[in-house]
Amino acid sequence: MRRWVAGAAAAALVVLASPAASADPAASGAIPKVPVMTGFGGAVSSVDADATRIGLEVLRRGGNAVDAAVATAAALGVTEPYSAGIGGGGYFVYYDARTRTVHTIDGRETAPSRMTETAFIDPATGKPLPFDQGVNSGLSVGVPGTAATWQHALDAWGTLSLRKALDPAADLAQRGFTVDATFQAQTAANQTRFDDIVPTRDLFLPGGAPPAVGSTFRNPDLARTYRQLGREGVDWLYRGGLGREVVSTVQAPPVAPDADRVFRPGLMQQRDLSAYSVIDRKPTRVDYRGLQVYGMPPSSSGGSTVAESLNILENVDLKSMDAATATHYYLEATRLAFADRNRYVGDPAFVDVPLRGLLSQGFADERACRIDPAHAGVSPVAPGDPTAPYEGCGTTVGAGEPEPYEGLSTTHLTAADRWGNVVAYTLTIEQTGGSAITVPGRGFLLNNELTDFSFAPLFPGVPDPNLPAPGKRPRSSMSPTIVLKGGKPYLALGSPGGATIITTVLQTLVGRVDRGLSLLDAVAAPRLSQRNGAATEAEPGVPADLRAALQARGHVLKDNPEIGAATALEFLPGGRIQAVAEPVRRGGGSAGVVWPT
């Protein structure tokens, strides 16, 4: 990884870093793991160099952005198996250049038909299960949506068959990839969990230990699974033999005889898989500083919460402010928006989400009225009432709700093609390592997404929009975002990181749009995240003078070693695209274009 030097503090929410010049990879044709690349013909940005390379090769051979996104995502299932794969789900946002419209696919996992709102209540105690017991169990495994998302996207907008889209990732799984420090560290962090499940131990702990940095990690089981999925189609998972294997694994996790944990059986049945479908949803949209910002609607809270925060910030001129004041307003906007998110957002098939109100400028103006320019709010602040009419500072509804836990794993990719189509795609198996349960002989981990549900109502007598129910999608914070300027692509971005995804996307947008940062510097900037919690999380790189200025306003700061890991694209004049990935977080990402300049 190249060294980075301090950037200008005056332009930023926080002091950032800017990159040394990267070597031109065009001569060798290889795509090194560099954080920024500019050029023509399409672009891909992901956390992994192998995945980015595969996506770019699809573009070079005439595939479009959807083809490249699916191929890249499948490759991330090989090299980022603890964050994504066909055992999970996600959200796919697509800009169609021909029609100039934005579409979304909700590929979120669903709860089994036997799951009720008391599924995470221990019948012996009448209290919610310890979170660890929820994660490490078949009970946490939702019906996966990733394979259905890939097929639906390819059918709607792609040019490749699923088989051809999966072939490069199958080849990668067969021949293997080089283990880096991040992969080894993630394996080591999960070693005691992985050791409890026989196929997980055998695959990810060869010889009983995490694979060594520099070694080659192969997953022939996943290679075979991808190839058979390509031949037989997704019905093999949702109505066929692979689905039966998944259900058997969920209902009777293959626990090692010497396991340290009890893995509770799950509730999934074959009929849950056959009933699954992805959902085409209308994207969220708000106008911000003359830009059109599109995001993912519920069941994700990402689009609405980013949008509400932007609408709140529309009330102030961030560009003219000093860094401390701009950061104060950014943190207060997310504090308020998360209060509303926690109270109102859930699966719209089960919850009447007041989305029009949450996206309205009038409601945001009421919420902005509650920001004290000189003092931080005290969390948890109460949610507002998003019902019109809007006037003054509005009214509040009940008490503020604390932020539930969300897993910090997940991965995000962005892709664009020579014709101007764009994809922002966030996919996940929930926390790093998911449920820790690998389907025997299939090479992929199952998700623990159902732990994104509330285990019990946050406040007695107060409706909780995120309690479990049969077929329900748990609330997510994934925030794949596409920004248009004059109806044409300007930015595409997203991030992993649980609920910090929302603040990562928002801070990156504010850095680029309001604070005059390059996209690379906006992605690299040390992050702060306020989610209506008692403390604001801050990365170590946040400078001391900014910390002091925020604390003087009453902000309580709590260190978080790493927040998010964004990838992004910016569409430049003359048909150029700049691809950007994290320079350092999660070992650094990989940005590439088809024809570098």
Q: Residues with catalytic annotation?
A: 410
Tell me the C-alpha distance between 448 and 429, whole Å: 6
Tell me the C-alpha distance between 361 and 418, whole Å: 35
Tell me the C-alpha distance between 253 and 256, whole Å: 9
CB 221 within 8 A of CB 443: yes
Start-end of H helices in 13-130: 49-60, 65-79
Could you give the count of Cα atoms lying within 13 Å of 99 in the half-sphere of its Cβ? 7
Tell me the C-alpha distance between 246 and 148, whole Å: 15
Which pair of tokens denotes residue 111?
């709860």
The DSSP 8-state label assigned to residue 318 in this structure reads G
CB 426 within 8 A of CB 496: yes
Closest of 40, 19, 58 to residue 577, by C-alpha: 40
Tell me the C-alpha distance between 437 and 448, whole Å: 9
Q: At what angle do helices 162-175 and 49-60 cross, to 10 degrees?
A: 140
DSSP E strand boundaries for 79-182 = 89-96, 101-107, 177-178
All residues at 6 or more sequence positions from 301 whose CB lies less than 8 Å from its CB, including other chains: 341, 345, 475, 476, 477, 502
Which pair of tokens denotes residue 544?
């001391």
